[in-house]
A = this chain, B = another copy of it.
């Protein structure tokens, strides 16, 4: 038996890389904790909004349409906890708190761009597929 290759490819680029990874017993998809962060209704928007400079609480609240104060706070706390956001408190009156995306968060944002590209390329196709599917379902009834 040949010696097992314990080194995993440092960068996965193709489905073959992923398959190789699977055969080596590694998971080819991001762990749940990361997917949850990405999936949260507001997290990525906050990363985007703080990517180009520090943003204050109220600025974010105004910028991100539809977000409630509660969810803004919760999402900011979660992002800070994960090291995706740096929170700076200026001890002034009135208080001033600024949030800024960390380098790690910027890399995440950049990684998400491939997903954005996929969406832009295929969203029409997905929408069409949904319509066909739904039409079939209502027709069956």
Measured CA separation A15–B14 after assembly (Å): 23
- In the complex, which range does the number of interface residues on chain A fall in? 35 or more
Stoichiometry, copies per complex:
2
Nearest-CB distance from A111 to chain B (Å)? 4
Tell me whether A130 and B81 are in contact (CB under 8 A).
yes
Are B12 and A113 closer than 8 Å at their CB atoms? yes
Contact of A17 among B36, B113, B118 (CB under 8 A): B113
Q: Please report whether the interface of chain A is mostly helix, strand, loop or mixed according to DSSP.
A: helix
Minimum Cβ distance to chain B for residue A141 (Å)? 15
CB distance from A128 to the nearest CB of B (A): 8
A48, B84: Cα distance in complex, Å: 28
Q: Which of A23-31, A67-75, A91-99 is the contact stretch?
A: A23-31
Asked whether, in the complex, the Cβ of A107 is within 8 Å of the Cβ of B118, the reply is yes
Taking the nearest CB of chain B, how far is it from the CB of A133, in angstroms?
4
Known: A52-B19, A82-B129. A104 touches B116 (CB 8 A): no
